[in-house]
Structure 1
Amino acid sequence: MSFTSEVAGKERKNKRFLGCFFTVFMLAGLGFSSFFIWPIVELLQARGWRETPCTILTSEVKTHSDSDGSTYSVEVTYEYLVNDQSYTSSRYKFMRGSSSGYQGKKAIVDRLSPGTKTVCYVNRRNPSEAVIERGFTGDLLFGLIPLVFVAVGAGGLFGVFLYQGKPKSPHARGAASVAAAPSKDEKGVLKSSTSPGARLGCAIVIATFWNGIVSIFVVQMVDGWIKGNGDGCGTVFMIPFVLIGLGLLVFVGYSFLALFNPRPRLRMHGEPALGETIEIEWEIRGNCDRMTRFAILLEGREEATYRRGTRTTTEKSIFESIELAAITRSKDMRRGKVKASIPAGSMHTFKSNSNKFIWHLQVNGEIPRWPDVSEEYEIEMKPQRPGATS
């Protein structure tokens, strides 16, 4: 199997993995959103319901207690007449369930004390269906949280399977057969394993997922403290999760700043093989004057994957390390060329399900008080060719 087809197969596997990941992400968001979407649908439908006088029969604030604390709901029953026929309903609003905030619910119950004359809204097609509060209520805002997961999942699927980048110009489309072959200027140019944009996207997805879940518990905990029912043990338990979330937000900012770093462009001449000389040419695009040190390192890395009980573990170790360039003068960083001999007795590129020998070029640029330049370029190291001298 050629290196090109191997890379293409790896890209297909990555696409399938990302597709499954973002699909689960989106479906989970849709599942949680359904608890909020249906009440909103009912709310919109109720705009055409008939306003009808009603009498409150019973009302109370019901407490729901569990190991996480207490939540409250408004429980009310009322009677109304439609076409001289009496009906009874117990629906106060469309959003079911309970939440924190006792005082707000007590105020509603005090306003709807037994015997109070008020109005309810009755479904014209089904008079047995009625509600007192048919407007928007604050607890529906929680439906925005799972919608974040839906947006991230849908955006990820679009980016993986549909987004094709900038459209080609008509001239380029007309010369598709010529453009399909790499130009002389692009021949041998290496592609970074991950781009700064991809790292930023991953950071945003992870930070959104983590903080979206943690924020649900934080909101309830803060509300409990505001209402005088704070849970000290629960607050202490949540501190590490909140700190991790803050750290992820810092990493998002760090990844965003890295977008403005100088970008190295590497070109490899020929196909490297054991016992031969590798030649690398580089060019820095952007303001390389900010860098205090620029280095290119050629590394051979072994990755061994095995199972420990129910866990799959991958151990990595460096079996070859060759420093190709180490520059501290800014004027020498802009562009250059370097050659190095590769030991004949080393290991060539090899990949299997449980063991891999990978060669890559590691490019590092140190920038004071700013994210450093760090790019990795995987290359294929061929076995020693017949007749080659070590």
Structure 2
Amino acid sequence: WNGIVLVAFLVNWQFGYTKSWSWGTTLFWLLALCIGVYLIMQMLRQAFSTVGIGPTLIETSDYPLLPGERYRVFVKQAGALQVKRFEVILECEEEATFEHGTNTRRESRRVYRETVARHEKFAILNSVPYECECEIAIPERAMHSFKSEHNEIRWRLVVRIEADGWPPIERAAPLIVRPVRVQLTRQATRREAAFPAANEHRSSASLDVSSQVRP
């Protein structure tokens, strides 16, 4: 916006159009200037909040994730803040890409959102980071992570912070949710690990049979 306004002003000034400005034109340029200053202030405020609010660490008890399973989540937030609200949110977004001739249009919508942790009105000291543990559950019939040329399913964990003196800020960590068939394979592996004696007996039996049929 500021670049467009600056170029338009320079063109008007170079060709001498500024000498014949009316009240309407002057009001337009004043409005454009106010909008430009507001956008710059918002950009600087967002940049200061990103730098001023300390780093955010997000960890899960297992990775990648599976539908129908529950996982522990550990969040660590650094920085000196007077927090009004601290939320950990599990989200799933679907994005579709449409092509109309030479134009490409993208549409995204949130298909799942759950607030898994919420804490309000507390202080984070610069020397002592804030730590939070919670639990998430991927719905049993949820769509797994997916990406193709025209469609994408994205899962993520979002940490949303509202603090005194700062605009609300969101930090997200992408998640990978595997298909159900991977879950069945992992469950079979767990059953084999739970009964090692049966697995050993089955292996030795196959060796015995092989030794009997050998000429």
Same fold (TM > 0.5): yes
The answer to whether the Cα contact below 8 Å between 1:305 and 1:312 also exists between their aligned partners in 2 is yes
Residues 92-131 of structure 1 mapped to structure 2, 5 A cutoff: none
Structure showing the higher strand proportion among its residues: 2
Q: Which residue of 2 aligns with 1:375?
A: 171
For residue 116 of structure 2, the aligned residue among 304, 319, 324 is 324
**Residue number in structure 2 paired with 1:301:** 93
In 2, Cα distance between equivalents of 1:376 and 1:217: 38
More contact order relative to length (CA 8 Å, sep ≥ 6): 2
Q: Which residue of 2 aligns with 1:346?
A: 142
Task: In structure 2, give the amino acid aligned to 1:371.
Answer: P
- Per-residue CA deviation, residues 290-327 of structure 1 (Å, 9 max, x unaligned), is 11110000111111111345532212122222221101
CA distance in 2, matches of 1:236, 1:221: 15
Matched, 1:312 2:110: no
The alpha-carbon distance between structure 1 residues 220 and 231, as it changes in their structure 2 partners (threshold 3 A), is farther
How far 1:246 moved relative to its partner? 2.4
Counterpart of 1:13 in structure 2 is: none
| Structure-1 separation of matches of 2:108 and 2:153 | 10
Query: Which structure has the larger Rg?
Result: 1
Task: Report the aligned-residue RMSD.
Answer: 2.9
Kindly state the Cα deviation for residue 234 of structure 1 after the two structures are TM-superposed. 4.5
Match of 1:215 in 2: 6
Q: What code does the residue aligned with 2:140 have?
A: A
Q: Distance in 1 between matches of 2:13 and 2:154?
A: 50
Change (3 A) 1:353 1:260: same
Instruction: State the SS of the aligned residue for 2:144.
Output: coil
The equivalent position to 2:130 in structure 1, one of 329, 334, 347, is 334
Query: Structure 2: 5+ residue runs without aligned partners?
Result: 188-215
Q: For the Cα contact (< 8 Å) 2:53–2:78, is it kept in 1?
A: no
Residue pair 1:221, 1:230 contacting (<8 A) in 2 also:
no
Alignment: residue pair count: 177
Residue 268 in structure 1 maps to residue 60 in structure 2: yes
**Which residue is 1:283 aligned to?**
76
| TM-aligned CA distance change 1:307 to 1:242, over 3 Å | farther
1:246 corresponds to 2:37: yes
Determine if contact 1:295/1:365 at 8 Å carries over to the other structure: yes
Gaps of 5+ in 1: 1-209
Deviation at 1:375, TM superposition (A): 0.8
The separation in 2 between residues aligned to 1:243 and 1:310, in whole angstroms, is 36
Q: Which residue of 2 aligns with 1:188?
A: none
Aligned identity (percent) is 24
